[in-house]
Amino acid sequence: MEFYSGDINQLITELAALPGIGKKSAERMAFHILNLPLERVKRLSGAILKAKENARYCSECCTLTDAETCPVCSNPKRDHKTIMVVENPRDLAAYEKTGKFEGVYHVLHGAISPMNGIGPSDIKLKELIARLEGDVEEVIIATNSSLEGETTAMYISKLIKPAGIKVTRIASGVPVGGDLEYIDEVTLLRALEGRTEI
């Protein structure tokens, strides 16, 4: 049985389709939105549309940005000879919050997972290899400690090592099966500082 009118039901349905949002949370969010002033709702919906229309991949690291290059890649103070490879933009943000990594990133937008039909050509690996033709001294592999993350790390290591570039892996301060975006900054920092060559 439906309790609300069509438009309200549609709003709840759309919000419930977002990851991590259940029906009750969607209802709370919907009623919060409906109680906001119209101008605030217009700003919210405008921000969503604008972000969707303008988001693109950084031409260097492949993270999401609304400019040609992201703020990290366009910063001349960053060490462009050290590249940290992460699975998604949220992992990049997690490391940036530590305030200790001075290099740049490469975002794969996924991990190799044959069981899910995701191979090396389905993630941003060829873009990483193209970047390595420049002056790169170290590649830090910071993929998740899951089976897919470990598979991806080993694949990248085997791909890069023949080029004579130092390849390291973040230390195991990150728990197996843990996603980087949910791990605190101290643990991430310890993992970064305790990385080992692979």
Total of domains in the chain: 2
The pLDDT confidence band at residue 175, using thresholds 50, 70 and 90, is: low
Q: Of 16, 32, 54, at which residue does a domain stop?
A: 54
**CATH number, domain containing residue 30:** 1.10.8.420
What is the model's pLDDT at position 2?
65
> Same domain for 170 and 95?
yes
3-state secondary structure 111-122: CCEHHHCECHHH
Length of the chain: 198
- 156 within domain boundaries: yes
Residues 26-47, mean pLDDT to the nearest whole number: 95
Q: Where are the alpha helices (DSSP H) in the chain?
A: 6-16, 23-35, 38-54, 89-96, 125-131, 147-160, 185-193
116-150: pLDDT as tens digits = 999 999 999 999 999 998 899 999 999 987 888 88
- 1 within domain boundaries: no
The pLDDT confidence band at residue 1, using thresholds 50, 70 and 90, is: very low
What is the model's pLDDT at position 5?
80
Residues 162-179, mean pLDDT to the nearest whole number: 77
The pLDDT confidence band at residue 196, using thresholds 50, 70 and 90, is: low
Structure pTM? 0.77
Which domain covers residue 40, as residue numbers?
A: 6-54
* C-beta neighbour count of 54 within 10 angstroms: 10
Residues 17-38, mean pLDDT to the nearest whole number: 94
The pLDDT confidence band at residue 112, using thresholds 50, 70 and 90, is: very high
DSSP state of 163: G
51-85: pLDDT as tens digits = 999 999 999 999 999 999 999 999 999 999 999 99
91-102: pLDDT as tens digits = 999 999 988 899
> Same domain for 104 and 24?
no
DSSP string computed for 78-130: SEEEEEEEESSHHHHHHHHTTS---EEEEE-SS--BGGGTB-GGGTTHHHHHH
Contact 105, 127 (CB under 8 A): no
**CATH number, domain containing residue 183:** 3.40.1360.10
